[in-house]
Structure 1
Amino acid sequence: MTTDMNPTPYFIRHARPRDITAIRAMQARSMWTLGADFYSEAEIAGFMEAFGTMDDAIVLEGHCFLAEDAYGAILASGAWSRAKPGYAAGLPAKGHAGDMPTVRSVFVDPAVARCGVGTAIMLRVEQDAIAHSVLLLGLTATLSGVPLYQRLGYQVEEVTQILFPDQTRFGCVKMQKVLDRDAI
């Protein structure tokens, strides 16, 4: 069990298909609350409608993790996948989208934001990737997530935008990190 700077004890485990509804609810709270300083309501609504916060397939793939408190509340989520993310169709053609394993669906419940839970999830995601012989991870960060990823050593490749089907745009940052095999 881990606490970091958060007074609420939690543990990290694999996500299961029966968790999907609760994961999505936490992710939506996170997007609407933590994303509000970076995106307009219309941009968040457009993202949620066009792409949502998570493809069910990443849970089924087996590389999705949750931070859960003692009462079963989901505090954070994060995954990595070799599958191309649904939002990749809206990204410019260049870059890593779909070309390398990708960090996906990293969200933290606003009640525990900036308490170390997101970092703990990301470290677990990276450990799992390394255990599966992945040594380079890419990601497309929301603007609200960039500081976390930079603290964890992800390097900015490109500041870009996802193009929605209605031609509106959603700012994001493509990043990547070479993983340290000796870190596990």
Structure 2
Amino acid sequence: MTTYASGKIRTRWATIDDLPTLKKLINRSIDTLQVGFLTPEQIIASQAVMGLDTQLVEDGSYLIAEYDGVLAGCGGWSNRATLYGGDHSSDLRDPILLNPERDPARIRAMYTDPAFTRKGIGSLILKQCEQAAAEHGFRTAELMATLSGEPLYIASGYYPLERIEATGDGVNVPLIRMQKKLKP
């Protein structure tokens, strides 16, 4: 297992044992950090279209960030076609492997615990996921951003490709498909 450190933030690749704690962090993140960007109904609907895809953990491509030893954030990258969605959104999942020569890697399931925002957690995870994807031969990365995540991704060099609305529990949730060229 590779461990990286940046100040008080340490990252490591998640294991199956981390799943219960990750799910709690993800739910807190969705419920809290979308406030001000989405209506209460859209936040509830977000739970149906977002979440943890355990395939990322099984593939060894899902990072955990700890701040002074406390779980503070998570996120991953993937060489599979799925762009977004969790285990419960099977209609969005496509396990087909991507070709790094022609397809963009996927940046997936990025979440920060609300108690740890503005500490560089998301930026560090994003950078390490991009590095891992580049090491696997990918030249570009693509992600599906929430409205609250869009500023981080723009600041990190991503540009919007399209704005869509995903439907969860009959409610539309705005999302932005974004892309970035990776450094080799």
Would you call these one fold, judging by a TM-score over 0.5?
yes
1:75 to 72, 82, 96: 72
**CA spacing shift, 1:29–1:165, aligned 2, 3 Å:** closer
1:178 to 163, 176, 181: 181
The count of corresponding residues between Structure 1 and Structure 2 is 165
Computed over aligned residues only, the root mean square deviation of the Cα atoms, in angstroms, reads 1.8
Q: 1:154-173 maps to which residues of 2 (within 5 A)?
A: 154-164=158-168, 166=170, 168-173=171-176
Separation (CA, whole Å) in 1 of partners of 2:26 and 2:90: 19
Percent of aligned positions with the same letter in both sequences? 29
AA in 2 matched with 1:76: G
Segments of structure 1 that go 5 or more residues without pairing to the other structure are 4-8, 91-98
Segments of structure 2 that go 5 or more residues without pairing to the other structure are 93-102
Separation (CA, whole Å) in 2 of partners of 1:128 and 1:82: 10
> How far does residue 52 in structure 1 lie from its aligned partner after superposition?
4.1
> How far does residue 88 in structure 1 lie from its aligned partner after superposition?
9.1
When normalised by structure 2's length, the TM-score is: 0.83
Q: 1:79-98 maps to which residues of 2 (within 5 A)?
A: 79-83=76-80, 84=82, 85-86=84-85, 89=91
Q: 1:1-184 maps to which residues of 2 (within 5 A)?
A: 1-3=5-7, 9-48=8-47, 50-71=48-69, 73-83=70-80, 84=82, 85-86=84-85, 89=91, 100-164=104-168, 166=170, 168-181=171-184
Q: Deviations over 1:24-69 (max 9, x none)?
A: 1111111111111111222121221x23411111111111111113
When normalised by structure 1's length, the TM-score is: 0.83
Structure (1/2) with the larger helix percentage:
1
**CA spacing shift, 1:17–1:88, aligned 2, 3 Å:** closer
Q: Secondary structure at the match of 1:106?
A: strand
Maintained 8 Å contact 2:33/2:114: yes
4+ residue segments displaced more than 4 Å: 87-90
> How far does residue 146 in structure 1 lie from its aligned partner after superposition?
0.2
